[in-house]
Chain A
Amino acid sequence: GEDVEQSLFLSVREGDSSVINCTYTDSSSTYLYWYKQEPGAGLQLLTYIFSNMDMKQDQRLTVLLNKKDKHLSLRIADTQTGDSAIYFCAERASGTYKYIFGTGTRLKVLA
Protein backbone atom coordinates (compact mmCIF):
# COMPACT_ATOMS: atom_id res chain seq x y z
CA GLY A 1 0.00 0.00 0.00
CA GLU A 2 0.96 3.63 -0.06
CA ASP A 3 3.30 4.80 2.66
CA VAL A 4 5.36 7.90 3.35
CA GLU A 5 8.11 7.88 5.94
CA GLN A 6 10.02 10.71 7.59
CA SER A 7 12.38 10.98 10.51
CA LEU A 8 10.69 12.56 13.52
CA PHE A 9 13.21 15.14 14.70
CA LEU A 10 15.96 17.36 13.34
CA SER A 11 17.97 19.92 15.24
CA VAL A 12 20.25 22.45 13.53
CA ARG A 13 22.07 25.65 14.46
CA GLU A 14 20.89 28.97 13.12
CA GLY A 15 22.60 29.77 9.83
CA ASP A 16 23.27 26.13 8.97
CA SER A 17 21.44 24.22 6.26
CA SER A 18 18.66 21.80 7.20
CA VAL A 19 17.91 18.70 5.17
CA ILE A 20 14.64 16.92 5.82
CA ASN A 21 14.22 13.54 4.17
CA CYS A 22 11.20 11.57 3.05
CA THR A 23 10.69 8.22 1.38
CA TYR A 24 7.54 6.98 -0.31
CA THR A 25 6.42 3.69 -1.73
CA ASP A 26 3.78 4.49 -4.33
CA SER A 27 5.42 4.41 -7.74
CA SER A 28 2.38 6.10 -9.25
CA SER A 29 2.98 9.21 -7.13
CA THR A 30 2.79 12.10 -9.49
CA TYR A 31 2.93 15.10 -7.22
CA LEU A 32 5.00 15.51 -4.08
CA TYR A 33 4.55 18.31 -1.60
CA TRP A 34 6.20 19.84 1.41
CA TYR A 35 3.95 21.43 4.02
CA LYS A 36 4.95 23.40 7.12
CA GLN A 37 2.96 23.52 10.34
CA GLU A 38 3.64 26.14 12.98
CA PRO A 39 2.14 25.81 16.47
CA GLY A 40 -1.61 26.39 16.46
CA ALA A 41 -1.75 26.83 12.69
CA GLY A 42 -2.81 24.70 9.76
CA LEU A 43 -0.56 23.04 7.25
CA GLN A 44 0.92 25.59 4.88
CA LEU A 45 2.18 24.55 1.46
CA LEU A 46 5.88 25.38 1.08
CA THR A 47 6.68 23.86 -2.28
CA TYR A 48 5.87 20.96 -4.56
CA ILE A 49 7.55 18.97 -7.29
CA PHE A 50 6.24 16.88 -10.14
CA SER A 51 7.54 13.36 -10.54
CA ASN A 52 9.11 14.22 -13.89
CA MET A 53 11.45 16.69 -12.21
CA ASP A 54 14.68 16.03 -10.30
CA MET A 55 15.09 19.32 -8.55
CA LYS A 56 13.25 22.49 -7.77
CA GLN A 57 14.65 25.60 -6.14
CA ASP A 58 12.58 28.33 -4.56
CA GLN A 59 14.58 30.98 -2.69
CA ARG A 60 16.03 29.23 0.37
CA LEU A 61 14.27 25.97 -0.39
CA THR A 62 15.65 23.20 -2.60
CA VAL A 63 13.69 20.03 -3.28
CA LEU A 64 15.52 16.99 -4.63
CA LEU A 65 13.69 13.97 -5.99
CA ASN A 66 15.31 10.58 -6.59
CA LYS A 67 12.60 8.61 -8.36
CA LYS A 68 14.60 5.41 -8.49
CA ASP A 69 14.97 5.31 -4.71
CA LYS A 70 11.61 7.05 -4.11
CA HIS A 71 13.40 9.59 -1.95
CA LEU A 72 12.48 13.23 -1.55
CA SER A 73 14.40 15.84 0.40
CA LEU A 74 13.87 19.44 1.41
CA ARG A 75 16.90 21.58 2.00
CA ILE A 76 16.51 24.88 3.82
CA ALA A 77 19.51 27.14 3.38
CA ASP A 78 20.56 29.58 6.11
CA THR A 79 18.04 28.15 8.58
CA GLN A 80 16.47 30.73 10.88
CA THR A 81 14.71 30.37 14.23
CA GLY A 82 11.45 31.17 12.42
CA ASP A 83 11.89 27.97 10.45
CA SER A 84 11.27 25.94 13.61
CA ALA A 85 8.11 23.96 12.83
CA ILE A 86 6.88 20.54 11.76
CA TYR A 87 7.51 19.73 8.09
CA PHE A 88 5.26 17.24 6.33
CA CYS A 89 6.04 15.42 3.14
CA ALA A 90 2.97 14.36 1.11
CA GLU A 91 2.37 12.58 -2.14
CA ARG A 92 -0.59 12.36 -4.47
CA ALA A 93 -1.16 10.00 -7.34
CA SER A 94 -2.72 11.16 -10.56
CA GLY A 95 -6.46 10.68 -10.62
CA THR A 96 -6.94 10.88 -6.86
CA TYR A 97 -7.72 13.76 -4.56
CA LYS A 98 -6.13 12.42 -1.45
CA TYR A 99 -2.75 13.29 -0.09
CA ILE A 100 -0.72 10.63 1.68
CA PHE A 101 1.28 12.30 4.44
CA GLY A 102 4.29 11.33 6.44
CA THR A 103 4.40 11.72 10.22
CA GLY A 104 6.13 15.07 9.95
CA THR A 105 9.65 16.09 10.97
CA ARG A 106 9.95 18.48 13.87
CA LEU A 107 12.72 20.95 13.05
CA LYS A 108 14.29 22.78 15.97
CA VAL A 109 16.62 25.65 15.17
CA LEU A 110 19.08 26.53 17.90
CA ALA A 111 20.23 30.14 18.22
Chain B
Amino acid sequence: EPEVTQTPSHQVTQMGQEVILRCVPISNHLYFYWYRQILGQKVEFLVSFYNNEISEKSEIFDDQFSVERPDGSNFTLKIRSTKLEDSAMYFCASSALAGDPYNEQFFGPGTRLTVL
Protein backbone atom coordinates (compact mmCIF):
# COMPACT_ATOMS: atom_id res chain seq x y z
CA GLU B 1 0.00 0.00 0.00
CA PRO B 2 1.46 3.40 -0.92
CA GLU B 3 2.55 5.54 1.98
CA VAL B 4 4.12 8.88 2.79
CA THR B 5 7.68 8.61 4.03
CA GLN B 6 9.74 11.12 5.96
CA THR B 7 13.44 11.45 6.70
CA PRO B 8 15.10 11.66 9.09
CA SER B 9 12.96 10.21 11.85
CA HIS B 10 14.83 12.33 14.40
CA GLN B 11 16.91 15.44 13.81
CA VAL B 12 18.93 17.23 16.46
CA THR B 13 20.29 20.67 15.68
CA GLN B 14 21.78 23.70 17.36
CA MET B 15 19.78 26.89 17.71
CA GLY B 16 20.37 29.16 14.72
CA GLN B 17 21.18 26.33 12.33
CA GLU B 18 19.23 25.60 9.19
CA VAL B 19 17.39 22.30 8.88
CA ILE B 20 15.68 20.62 5.97
CA LEU B 21 13.02 18.02 6.63
CA ARG B 22 12.26 15.70 3.77
CA CYS B 23 9.14 13.95 2.68
CA VAL B 24 8.23 11.66 -0.19
CA PRO B 25 4.48 11.95 -0.80
CA ILE B 26 2.38 9.27 -2.43
CA SER B 27 3.35 9.26 -6.08
CA ASN B 28 0.11 10.31 -7.80
CA HIS B 29 -0.87 12.89 -5.21
CA LEU B 30 -1.00 16.55 -6.13
CA TYR B 31 -1.45 18.35 -2.82
CA PHE B 32 1.13 18.46 -0.07
CA TYR B 33 1.04 19.65 3.51
CA TRP B 34 3.17 20.20 6.57
CA TYR B 35 1.85 20.06 10.13
CA ARG B 36 3.67 20.14 13.41
CA GLN B 37 2.96 18.98 16.95
CA ILE B 38 4.81 20.48 19.87
CA LEU B 39 5.00 17.95 22.69
CA GLY B 40 1.75 17.84 24.61
CA GLN B 41 0.02 20.26 22.26
CA LYS B 42 -2.22 20.00 19.22
CA VAL B 43 -1.26 19.08 15.71
CA GLU B 44 -1.07 22.45 13.92
CA PHE B 45 -1.36 23.19 10.22
CA LEU B 46 1.65 24.95 8.73
CA VAL B 47 1.25 25.05 4.97
CA SER B 48 -0.34 23.49 1.92
CA PHE B 49 1.31 23.33 -1.51
CA TYR B 50 -0.08 22.70 -4.96
CA ASN B 51 1.23 23.21 -8.47
CA ASN B 52 4.57 24.44 -7.18
CA GLU B 53 3.20 27.17 -5.00
CA ILE B 54 1.83 27.68 -1.52
CA SER B 55 -1.96 27.40 -1.45
CA GLU B 56 -2.52 28.29 2.16
CA LYS B 57 -0.35 28.93 5.20
CA SER B 58 -0.86 29.55 8.88
CA GLU B 59 0.52 32.40 10.94
CA ILE B 60 3.13 30.00 12.29
CA PHE B 61 4.63 29.71 8.79
CA ASP B 62 6.67 32.90 8.85
CA ASP B 63 9.72 33.96 6.83
CA GLN B 64 11.89 31.43 8.64
CA PHE B 65 10.01 28.61 6.91
CA SER B 66 9.98 27.64 3.27
CA VAL B 67 8.78 24.66 1.26
CA GLU B 68 9.95 23.25 -1.99
CA ARG B 69 9.32 20.42 -4.36
CA PRO B 70 12.79 20.19 -5.87
CA ASP B 71 12.07 17.21 -8.08
CA GLY B 72 9.15 14.98 -8.97
CA SER B 73 9.17 13.06 -5.71
CA ASN B 74 10.47 15.03 -2.73
CA PHE B 75 8.71 17.72 -0.73
CA THR B 76 10.85 19.61 1.75
CA LEU B 77 10.36 21.96 4.68
CA LYS B 78 13.26 24.27 5.45
CA ILE B 79 13.66 26.19 8.67
CA ARG B 80 16.24 28.87 8.06
CA SER B 81 17.43 29.65 11.57
CA THR B 82 16.01 27.28 14.14
CA LYS B 83 14.76 28.44 17.51
CA LEU B 84 14.18 26.41 20.65
CA GLU B 85 10.44 26.70 20.14
CA ASP B 86 10.71 24.97 16.75
CA SER B 87 11.29 21.70 18.60
CA ALA B 88 8.33 19.53 17.60
CA MET B 89 7.19 16.55 15.59
CA TYR B 90 6.74 17.60 11.97
CA PHE B 91 4.25 15.65 9.86
CA CYS B 92 4.10 15.69 6.09
CA ALA B 93 0.85 14.77 4.35
CA SER B 94 -0.40 14.44 0.80
CA SER B 95 -3.76 14.13 -0.88
CA ALA B 96 -4.89 13.30 -4.38
CA LEU B 97 -7.46 16.05 -4.63
CA ALA B 98 -8.36 19.07 -2.57
CA GLY B 99 -11.68 19.95 -4.08
CA ASP B 100 -13.52 16.75 -3.36
CA PRO B 101 -15.45 16.50 -0.11
CA TYR B 102 -13.51 13.51 1.10
CA ASN B 103 -9.95 14.81 0.61
CA GLU B 104 -8.22 12.22 2.71
CA GLN B 105 -4.84 13.48 3.71
CA PHE B 106 -2.31 10.68 4.10
CA PHE B 107 0.25 11.37 6.79
CA GLY B 108 3.85 10.31 7.17
CA PRO B 109 5.29 9.01 10.46
CA GLY B 110 6.82 12.36 11.31
CA THR B 111 10.26 13.82 11.96
CA ARG B 112 11.05 14.73 15.52
CA LEU B 113 13.09 17.93 15.51
CA THR B 114 15.02 18.80 18.65
CA VAL B 115 16.65 22.23 18.82
CA LEU B 116 19.32 22.63 21.50
Contacts and interface: CB of A to CB of B under 8 A. Distances in A.
Interface of A: 4, 30-31, 35, 40-45, 48, 50, 88, 90, 92, 96-104
13 contacts: A31-B102, A42-B108, A43-B107, A45-B105, A96-B56, A97-B31, A97-B33, A97-B55, A97-B98, A97-B103, A98-B33, A98-B45, A99-B45
Given A35-B107, A88-B43, A99-B105, 9 more contacts: A4-B42, A42-B4, A42-B110, A43-B43, A99-B35, A100-B45, A101-B43, A104-B42, A104-B43
A45 B55 contact: no
A57 to B, nearest CB: 17
Contact of B101 (A31, A97, A98): A31
A43 B91 contact: yes
A62 B22 CA distance: 36
A96 B55 CA distance: 9
Given A98-B48, A100-B45, A101-B44, A45 B104 contact: yes
Interface residues of B, number: 28
B41 interface: yes
Residues of A contacting B: mostly? strand
Contacts of B40: 103
A103 B101 contact: no
Given A97-B55, A101-B42, A103-B42, A42 B91 contact: yes
A44 B107 contact: yes
Contacts of B107: 35, 42-44
B14 interface: no
Contacts of B4: 42
B60 to A, nearest CB: 11
A41 B107 CA distance: 9
